[in-house]
Amino acid sequence: MKAGRLGGWEARGVAGVVALVAGLGLAACTSGPPPVDDRPYEAQIQSLRSEKDAAFRSSRDSPIPDAARAAFPGLIYFPIDAQYRVPAFLTETPANPPVLIALQMSSATTERMRKVGTLGFTLAGVPLTLTAFAEEHATDMQRLFVPFTDLTSGAETYAHGRYLDLDRTPTGLYDLDFNRAYHPSCVYNPNYECPVPPKENHLTVAVRAGERLKKP
């Protein structure tokens, strides 16, 4: 079984398409910050979505089965809505010793991940938190993995949740943008196994932003 998520973090594989999607919109450089994208916010999100569709159709690491790639119609999204882009602050978990949590996978296995901290934010007037993770053996923890479920899970979105990936910041302040929320690869291909969000990452609001399933 393959394991992985498409967007930034991976459990054991899918490195090619992870790197492709994580690098969308970034310059091909090896040092220094990427150039500032001064396009309007909606144009940036639409561009990322178009490039991801292209990756799903053409990348050898796409989770779409080979026979279905040419006819793949593209991912389905909620309308872009700026109210689902909110500031968040990370309260870090003490690193020594690291706190390891076994996340249930979509198969019968578990995957140990390192708890980096808790993101606090407000959405639709409701104070909420999400636990942020990194790979168990990560040394720099420059990418945070934030799996979550919400009141759309199991109806408008995948029952076992969606994911966000965040670049680590030195300030503890984060741009939590649910318009970038994406489904795990196991939604498209049963040969993948993907982490299931823990109960503490169930949001008590409906997040109608990011990737969704076909309408009933």
Whole-angstrom distance, CA of residue 8 vs CA of residue 20: 9
Q: Phi-psi bin for 177: left (phi > 0), alpha (psi -120 to 50), beta?
A: beta
Instruction: Choose the weakest-confidence range: 18-22, 68-72, 90-94, 103-107.
Output: 18-22
Q: In a 10 Å sphere around its CB, with 0-12 CB exposed, 13-18 middle and 19+ buried, how is residue 206 labelled?
A: middle
Q: Is residue 211 domain-resident?
A: no
**Averaged confidence pLDDT in the chain:** 85
Q: Is residue 213 domain-resident?
A: no
Whole-angstrom distance, CA of residue 66 vs CA of residue 75: 16
Is pLDDT above 90 for 38?
no
User: Residue 123: which residues within 8 A CB-CB, separation 6 or more?
Assistant: 84, 86, 178, 203, 205, 207
Band the pLDDT of 25: cuts 50, 70, 90: very low
Whole-angstrom distance, CA of residue 131 vs CA of residue 129: 7
Over range 51-55, report the average pLDDT.
96
Q: Is residue 122 domain-resident?
A: yes
Q: What are the tens digits of pLDDT across the range 159-212?
A: 999 999 999 999 999 999 999 999 999 999 988 989 999 999 999 999 999 999
Q: Containing domain of residue 30, as a range?
A: 2-201
Is pLDDT above 60 for 22?
no
> How many structural domains does the chain have?
1
User: Residue 104: which residues within 8 A CB-CB, separation 6 or more?
Assistant: 110, 195, 196, 198
Q: What percent of the chain has pLDDT over 90?
A: 69
User: How many other CB atoms sit within 10 Å of the CB of residue 213?
Assistant: 15
Q: Is residue 141 domain-resident?
A: yes
Over range 46-50, report the average pLDDT.
96
Cα torsion 90, 5, 160, 92 to 10°: value is: -10
Predicted local confidence at residue 9, as pLDDT: 33
Q: Is residue 209 domain-resident?
A: no
Whole-angstrom distance, CA of residue 130 vs CA of residue 98: 18
* 113 Cα distance to chain centroid: 15
Q: Is residue 114 domain-resident?
A: yes
Q: Is residue 216 domain-resident?
A: no
Q: What are the tens digits of pLDDT across the range 103-157?
A: 999 888 899 999 999 999 999 999 999 999 998 877 777 899 999 999 999 999 9
Nearest Cα residue to 144 out of 118, 106, 109: 118
Q: Is residue 191 domain-resident?
A: yes
